[in-house]
């Protein structure tokens, strides 16, 4: 039976990217420190408990993809100081540099989203995240987004651990659906993370329990010249991010994209200046 490969955080960037190239997904053990995991859990505990399940969207497709008994919410930099530590994790950024920077001078946060799968929730349909940008999700294309599903609670088969189709990013036909024996689950303890590319097939598993919730944090980055899922600056105010490192400000959309070595063009500007400069927020 197909299985996801696992590496330890201490194995480093080369070990992670080697598996990503072959399988499109890899479990990193002990990705989050015990302290970071504890602080993040504490930060989001009350909000997660009180948040509604299901989507308010009228679209039945959105409702189905969301999950009737799944809680989703973003604005995590606003809600959790510990999230900023995860957002700027050096190992995760080093891996993202390797995967995304060959095709862009910069990248930013696509979304930081809690995905809390409730009891009795059905399995999500198998999909590719790069389908958010349809023309970029192609057999002969390249990676435009990189994600990590962090296990904030234990991910077990019964609780709906993410289903993955290793190697599907390399298929020569993106229209075909996977056979049952090509699908495995990202079973992993809390604190682990599954890094996966935008072109590998995956989807949340079914929660077969009657009284337990699966807490996952999805954190993804996207090429700086593409529109992300989450409107980062609308979810965090400048007073909240002003004290953060410039890299965190940029990832959250409060700075423009970096200037590359060939062109002077920048994206996401105000009066063609960097956001805080034009708005008089710096200094």
Q: pLDDT (tens digit, 0 to 9) for every residue of the chain, 283 residues total?
A: 799 999 999 999 999 999 999 999 999 999 999 999 999 999 999 999 999 999 999 999 999 999 999 999 999 999 999 999 999 999 999 999 999 999 999 999 999 999 999 999 999 999 999 999 999 999 999 999 999 999 999 999 999 999 999 999 999 999 999 999 999 999 999 999 999 999 999 999 999 999 999 999 999 999 999 999 999 999 999 999 999 999 999 999 999 987 766 777 889 999 999 999 999 997 6
Evaluate whether residue 152 is within a structural domain. yes
> How many other C-beta atoms are found inside a 10 Å radius of the C-beta of residue 3?
13
What residue numbers bound the domain in which 150 lies? 6-278
Cross-strand pairs, 25 = 196
Evaluate whether residue 234 is within a structural domain. yes
Evaluate whether residue 1 is within a structural domain. no
Evaluate whether residue 110 is within a structural domain. yes
> What 3-state DSSP class applies to 135?
helix
Contacts of 37 (CB under 8 A, 6+ apart): 152, 190, 191
Measured N-to-C along each axis, helices 12-23 and 90-100 cross at an angle, to the nearest 10 degrees, of 50
Q: Are 70 and 48 within 8 A, CB to CB?
A: no
Q: Are 130 and 48 within 8 A, CB to CB?
A: no
Token digits for 180? 């049952």
Evaluate whether residue 283 is within a structural domain. no
Evaluate whether residue 219 is within a structural domain. yes
Evaluate whether residue 67 is within a structural domain. yes
Residue 58 DSSP label: S
Q: Are 163 and 203 within 8 A, CB to CB?
A: yes
Domain count, the chain: 1
Evaluate whether residue 123 is within a structural domain. yes
Query: 168: domain CATH number?
Result: 2.60.120.620
* Residue 18 burial (C-beta neighbours within 10 Å; 0-12, 13-18, 19+): middle
Alpha carbon distances (Å) from 243 to 20, 131, 281: 34, 35, 12
Q: Are 247 and 147 within 8 A, CB to CB?
A: no
């Amino acid at each position: 039976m197909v299985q996801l490969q696992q590496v330890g955080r201490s194995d480093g960037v080369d070990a992670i990217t080697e598996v990503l190239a072959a399988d499109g997904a890899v479990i990193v053990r002990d990705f989050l420190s015990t302290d970071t995991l504890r602080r993040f859990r504490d930060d989001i505990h009350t909000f997660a408990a009180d948040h509604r399940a299901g989507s308010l969207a009228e679209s039945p497709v959105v409702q189905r993809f969301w999950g009737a008994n799944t809680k989703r919410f973003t604005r995590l930099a606003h809600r959790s100081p510990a999230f900023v530590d995860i957002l700027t994790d050096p190992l995760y950024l080093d891996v993202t540099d390797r995967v995304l920077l060959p095709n862009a001078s910069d990248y930013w946060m696509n979304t930081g989203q809690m995905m809390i799968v409730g009891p009795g929730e059905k399995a999500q349909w198998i999909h590719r995240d790069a389908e958010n940008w349809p023309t970029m999700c192609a057999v002969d294309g390249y990676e435009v987004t990189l994600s990590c599903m962090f296990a904030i609670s234990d991910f077990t088969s019964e609780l709906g651990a993410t289903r993955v189709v290793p190697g599907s990013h390399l298929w020569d036909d993106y229209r075909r659906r996977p056979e049952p024996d090509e699908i495995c689950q990202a079973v992993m303890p809390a604190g682990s993370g599954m890094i996966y590319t935008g072109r590998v097939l995956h989807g949340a598993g079914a929660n077969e329990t009657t009284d337990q919730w699966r807490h996952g944090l999805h954190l993804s980055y996207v090429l700086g010249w593409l529109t992300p899922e989450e409107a980062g600056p609308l979810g965090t105010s400048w007073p909240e991010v002003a004290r953060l490192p410039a890299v965190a400000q940029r990832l959250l959309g409060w700075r423009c994209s970096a200037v590359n070595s060939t062109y002077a063009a920048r994206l996401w500007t105000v009066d063609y200046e960097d956001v805080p400069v034009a708005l008089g927020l710096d200094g």
